[in-house]
Structure formats: C-alpha cells, structure tokens
Amino acid sequence: MNSTEHLEIEHKFLVNAGFDLGEFKRRVRALKPSHETEVDVRDVYYVPMSRIPCVLRHRYDHELQQLTMKSIGSKDAEVRTEVNIDLSQAKGDQSTTIRAFLAPFEIIWSGGLSKRVTAFHLPRCEVVHYTAVADKDIDGAAVAVHCVEFEAVGCSSVAEAVEVIRSYESMLGFDAATRTKESLFEMILAPAIPAEVRKKIRVNI
C-alpha cells in the first residue's frame, strides 16, 4: 500500500452560476485528457455516532456505485481519509440495502444531494466541474454550489499529489490561495443538521 492509498487529496474552487463551462472544457481538452465523462450523480451521506469523526456516503450513478467512509472536521479538506467499497451495478440502486446495513451503526442524521458532473481524466489528476444541489433546504432556500475540483490520482506521496494538483491549477488559471478549505458535505449538508444532533458529533461542522 502506498502512502496515499485510502486518502483523498484535492483542491476545490467555488465558482459562480455564470461560470463559463464551455471555455473551461476547451482549456482542459487542450491538455489532452484520456477521456471525459458527464454524469448525474446521487450522493446520500450518513452521520454515525463514532469515536472517529466521519461520514458514510452512498454514491450511485450510471458508471459506479460505492459505499465510502470519509473523515470530516479538519481545518483543511486538502487531504482526508477516504475508503471506498465498490458495489455491484448489476443490482441497480442499493439504497434500501445500504440503509438496512447501516441501521446497527447508530446513524444520527442523513441527507442527500444531486450533482451534475463533468470530469476529465488527465495523467495523475482528475479535473471536475459540478453543480451540487442539496435535498434539504436551509431557511427555506435551496442550497446549491458550483465547484471546480482537482483531485490527484495514482501518486506515491502527499507531496507529489499536491505538486501535481498545483501544476494543473496553474495550467488552467486557478490559484491555490483562493481554494475553499471545506468539504462538500461541510458546505452543503452540515448547515442543515439540527443543533441537537450537532451536539452528538465529536467535531465542529
């Protein structure tokens, strides 16, 4: 196992709803990605009572289905624990089975979001644009964010991964100093968690 296995290493940039996605695609395609995909993704997050601050995520789209454990609560989401278990696509959406599987783990809150994702697969990096919309409104308003992400893949160390990310950021006109340090869960779902549930979570979110 290399030192980045079971780690998610990424930089996330918030962009506005008027972001020029067409120009962004043109610039990324000029870097000759091996392939690109556009997919609608469904994510449901489950917050367990746990000694280790984490969330569990069930992801389902037409390309993959996974159950994932992600760490939460750090001051910077650049490097986080991420452990993925691939699930069979042959059985279709396994949401019901996932809920039954997680029932004994004392899930204290759950919330979902939908994403429209455009992903480009480049050497050692995935560059992604997505719009994510939460199921649960906050103060009566739908919560949506628009993001560009750079996620390192196949790197042998955190230092190498961050160097790869910064290289692609530079080529595409992004500045790491302006990235958000929050995870998507913390931005779009955590604000909807009731105060009484927050008190049970062993981390400030």
CATH number at residue 56: 2.40.320.10
Ramachandran class of 51: left when φ > 0, alpha when ψ lies in -120 to 50, beta otherwise: alpha
Q: Assess if residue 2 is contained within a domain.
A: no
pLDDT at 205 over 90: no
Q: Assess if residue 3 is contained within a domain.
A: no
Encode pLDDT of 115-161 as tens digits: 999 999 999 999 999 999 999 766 666 689 999 999 999 999 999 99
Do the Cβ atoms of 34 and 189 come closer than 8 Å? no
Q: Assess if residue 203 is contained within a domain.
A: no
CA distance 45 to 141: 20
pTM for the model stands at: 0.92
Q: Cα–Cα–Cα angle for 7, 60, 119, nearest 5°?
A: 65
Which domain covers residue 157, as residue numbers? 9-198
Encode pLDDT of 174-202 as tens digits: 999 999 999 999 999 988 888 888 877 76
97 forms beta bridges with: none
Q: Assess if residue 16 is contained within a domain.
A: yes
Q: Assess if residue 72 is contained within a domain.
A: yes
Q: Assess if residue 14 is contained within a domain.
A: yes
Q: Assess if residue 37 is contained within a domain.
A: yes
Tell which residue, 154, 150, 179, has the closest CA to residue 28: 150
